Structure 1
């Protein structure tokens, strides 16, 4: 079994989000059977997973019940395996009960995902990427494996089944019922606090509720620099119309101008707007840096 370099685009990003095993608390009870995937043990690693990689793509996820991030990515991978009709195999390494396997795979943090194709190991990610990014990674894996004569390329863009709250939120938004959509996203976050899709969805719905009924032209024209509510309202309008830089500049200026509770309020509002913009957008990167400078 040999180890290859990471596939371009599949590793090297957000590694800081993985948990070092040494920082996790020791387990307090018996290991919990994972909800998805086939458990990997020292006894079945070679026979059930390495050998199987000659027939189909195998993805191993190192996880621990002590890591909320590991549970989140396990849920995503499990749903994708089902959506792909088990054309690839998900193996789950419990680092608490299978330390020998973790050591053999040189796993030092969780969550970590590793692919095996034709007995060759390919590092995937050491983080919790968005579900759509995981979907793309698996598609690339299946295509690569197909080129090597292992399995077949993906037939089409199989989608992850939507959560019940997500379906309810979309249905409500189609009707223009943003209050109902907000309740659905809040219920989703209560059940899965780290669900990024729900975080973004809730931020979008809250934005729509805040600007509903406003006259954008008059609001921007009548804005007063010393009126915090007015400044936040204008920033909402600018974000909604795609004028991100103006919105960020406006609120960073307010962070510098106000103090105490007002300053905290505008900072929180600005951070909530950050959630609505692509993390790689240079305007957002610049604004985050400017906010840090304004605060310290």
Structure 2
């Protein structure tokens, strides 16, 4: 499947959305008809979003993309499973994305602000705004991995390299504006090989990374660059 490219102009600015309504907790990881818990972490890079922390989630998107997943256990029980699957895939990217899970029954103001017509629905936010068309329907895990691999490649192409810090904001939060993301040590051998002009070694290192994690879009982009060199 194909995915809309990131496009910042013309998006809806949500920064003025008020945070007024406290949310009630429900256990994450329970039965299929149970909703994820609101306002707390469900993983290193997953947070259940309520109206009290929505502004903080928007601010997190100023450095790295935030994925909002809208679900409703009462209207579409399968959307709860879908939300968990998105979280599973996002966690594989080690901070490249932060996923915010939004129960539209408990947080109607957020759903109204983004004009959510159905659940499940997925939005990608960057700089506090939606930057792709919403992705409707419940994709399976492999389809989700394809979508996020494409998104990761687009990020690399556009020079967007920020990462979220784990386990902050009840889940994750982006590093401060202007901070350069630290180099992931996994890519150091390939980078070192490129710097000393050993292109074959760099290709081999990137191929090792991709073999261990086919969803690693940074390694895929690095491999493509090394092959061009």
Normalising by structure 2, report the TM-score.
0.50
Matched-pair contact (CA < 8 Å) for 1:57–1:150? no
Structure 2 CA distance for aligned equivalents of residues 105 and 33 of structure 1: 25
Q: Secondary structure of the residue that 1:109 maps to in structure 2?
A: coil
Structure 1 CA distance for aligned equivalents of residues 27 and 71 of structure 2: 11
Q: Secondary structure of the residue that 1:50 maps to in structure 2?
A: helix
State the match for 2:124 in structure 1.
115
State the match for 1:42 in structure 2.
51
- Richer in helix (by share): 1
State the match for 1:140 in structure 2.
150
Q: 2:135 aligns with which of 120, 125, 133?
A: 125
Q: Where do 5+ consecutive residues of structure 2 fail to align?
A: 6-23, 30-41, 164-208, 217-229
Q: Does 1:158 align with 2:167?
A: no
Report the CA distance shift for 1:152/1:44 in structure 2 as closer, same or farther (over 3 A).
Answer: closer
Q: Where do 5+ consecutive residues of structure 1 fail to align?
A: 1-5, 9-29, 160-296
- Larger Cα-atom Rg: 1
Structure 2 CA distance for aligned equivalents of residues 147 and 44 of structure 1: 31
Structure 1 CA distance for aligned equivalents of residues 145 and 118 of structure 2: 22
Normalising by structure 1, report the TM-score.
0.40
State the match for 1:58 in structure 2.
66
State the match for 1:249 in structure 2.
none
Tell me the C-alpha RMSD between the 2 structures: 2.7
- Richer in strand (by share): 2
State the match for 1:214 in structure 2.
none
Question: Across the two proteins, how many residue pairs are aligned to each other?
Answer: 132
Matched-pair contact (CA < 8 Å) for 1:59–1:113? yes
Q: Does 1:32 align with 2:26?
A: yes
State the match for 2:4 in structure 1.
7
Structure 2 CA distance for aligned equivalents of residues 52 and 151 of structure 1: 14
Matched-pair contact (CA < 8 Å) for 1:146–1:152? no
State the match for 1:72 in structure 2.
81
Answer 1 or 2: higher relative contact order, Cα 8 Å, separation at least 6.
Answer: 2
Q: How far 1:93 sits from its partner (Å)? A: 0.8
Matching of residues 174-193 of structure 1 within 5 Å: none
Q: How far 1:49 sits from its partner (Å)? A: 2.0
